Structures are given as C-alpha cells and as structure tokens.
C-alpha cells in the first residue's frame, strides 16, 4: 500500500508541476511570442490544450490502466482514487493560498 501512496503522490505532484508550467506559458504568451494574429495563436492554444490533456491523462490514468490490464483491478482503483485525492488536496491548498493572498 505504501507504494501506491508514494506513486500516487508523485503522479499528482508531476501533474501539478506540468499544469504550473502550462500556466506560466499561457500567462506570458504575449511577452514570449508577441501579439498573435491570424490562425497561429488559436492553433497553438488548442494544440497545447490537446497535449496537456494527453500528458495529464497519462499521469493520472497511466499506472491505473496498466494495473487494470495486469488484472489488478482493486489496486488500479486504489491508485486512481489516491491520485485524485492528492490532486484534491493540492486544489484545496491552492484555494486556501488564493484566499489568503487577497
């Protein structure tokens, strides 16, 4: 069980770091790329969105799906639930930080 706690925490933290990096790019897009005219800006945004869905999906669901395919259904559900729990804890801490910083 300890392995699931650690692995789930690493997946949740990796997801948080990835989301933070995407937020940095999106927040500074005008500084980095300048004003985007035409189709390239929306194309870049949607491609980033699709890539983000794939990356975060693999971080959250990759190990549970592998466990499920190995026939370890209970372990797969536990791993997914723990990862979601850690993400929820990080979300609550983020909301608290937002509330305290106002």
Measured CA to CA, the distance from residue 49 to residue 8 in angstroms comes to 23
Residue pair 79/67 in contact (Cβ under 8 Å)? The answer is yes
Q: Is the pLDDT score of 2 beyond 80? A: no
Place of tokens 């370890």: 72
Our count of domains for the chain comes to: 1
> What average pLDDT does this structure show over 61-90?
96
Whole-prediction pTM: 0.86
Backbone dihedral angles phi then psi of residue 34, each to the nearest 5 degrees:
80, -175
Chain segment 22-53, per-residue pLDDT in tens:
999 989 988 888 887 889 888 988 999 999 99
Which residues constitute the domain of residue 86?
2-100
- Which residues, 6+ apart, have CB-to-CB distance to 20 below 8 Å? none
């Amino acid at each position: 069980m300890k392995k699931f706690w650690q692995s789930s925490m690493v997946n949740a933290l990796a997801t948080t770091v990835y989301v933070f990096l995407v937020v940095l790019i999106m927040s500074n897009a005008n500084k980095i790329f300048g004003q985007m005219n035409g189709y390239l800006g929306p194309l870049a945004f949607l491609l980033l969105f699709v890539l983000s869905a794939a990356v975060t999906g693999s971080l959250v669901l990759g190990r549970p799906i592998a466990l499920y395919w190995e026939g370890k259904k209970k372990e797969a559900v536990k791993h997914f639930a723990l990862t979601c729990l850690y993400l929820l804890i990080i979300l609550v801490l983020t909301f608290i930080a937002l509330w305290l910083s106002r």
